[in-house]
Amino acid sequence: MNPPSAAVIGADLSGIACAQRLSAAGWQLRVFESQRAPGGRIATRRFEAASFDHGAQYFSVREPSFHVAIERARLAGMVERWRPCWPRGDQERGELWVGSPGMNALPRFLSKGLDIEYGARITRLERTRKGWMLIDDRGAGQLGRKLPEIMLSDTHLWRHARVETALGEPFLLDQSGDLGFCGDWCLDARVEAAFLSGDAIGKALSETRYTDSSGKMRDSR
């Protein structure tokens, strides 16, 4: 039997964590990302003379599973501890880290080995008899459209910038167990929460379809 397969929409921290979990469990995967690089709201912009992080500035690490991923990134030189002089009480934030040399070093590192298609904005999902079909916006005549002047300035307006009230559960799965949703909005407005959400849904899915010790595919749904 063929290995189970999945498509992940978004090469952000939650998407990457989910995809890595499934990939480690032997799933065939493809990640679709509308932008040209991984990271989502972890983003670094480069100019000739400088670069700056215009999304998340740092991240905290509290949970062991995120710690494991960050330790791998540290050994590869992609993240560093950050020890700011903040007022007392801020220890609650957990260990603080930054990407090195920029925040986007973290998603770039964590996404290594994944099959990611960039520039693919998924606009529709269709359930077919063979599974899900993803439709993207290429060919829809939108890409070449000239934008009004004001949108061509260097301002970056983040959409869905900050979660105000999180769902309170690590992810959502539909009844069939075939369609799932994850992201920081599930747990908290933090980089670590996005990772934990993606990791949790990847783990849950990989436990529904797995290869047993004799090499047979099992479906426990």
Ligand X SMILES: Cc1cc2nc3c(=O)[nH]c(=O)nc-3n(C[C@H](O)[C@H](O)[C@H](O)COP(=O)(O)OP(=O)(O)OC[C@H]3O[C@@H](n4cnc5c(N)ncnc54)[C@H](O)[C@@H]3O)c2cc1C
Residue 57 lies near ligand X (rule: CB under 6 A): yes
Site pattern 75..114 for ligand X (x: CB under 6 A): ----------------------------------------
Of 73, 106, 194, 205, the one binding ligand X by CB under 6 A: 194
From the list 16, 29, 113, the residue with the least C-alpha distance to 69 is: 16
Shortest spacing between CB 214 and ligand X, in angstroms: 36
Query: Using CA atoms, how far apart are residues 70 and 110, in angstroms rounded to an integer?
Result: 9
Query: Using CA atoms, how far apart are residues 183 and 167, in angstroms rounded to an integer?
Result: 10
Beta-carbon contacts of residue 81 (< 8 Å; ≥ 6 apart): 95, 96, 97
30 contacts 38 by C-beta, under 8 angstroms:
no
Copy the structure tokens of residue 116: 């990611």
Site pattern 123..162 for ligand X (x: CB under 6 A): -----------------------------------x--x-
Of 19, 23, 27, 32, the one binding ligand X by CB under 6 A: 32
Query: Using CA atoms, how far apart are residues 177 and 188, in angstroms rounded to an integer?
Result: 24
Of 21, 190, 203, 209, the one binding ligand X by CB under 6 A: 190
Give the interface with ligand X as residue ranges (CB under 6 A). Answer: 9-14, 32-35, 40-42, 55-59, 120-122, 158, 161, 183-184, 189-191, 194
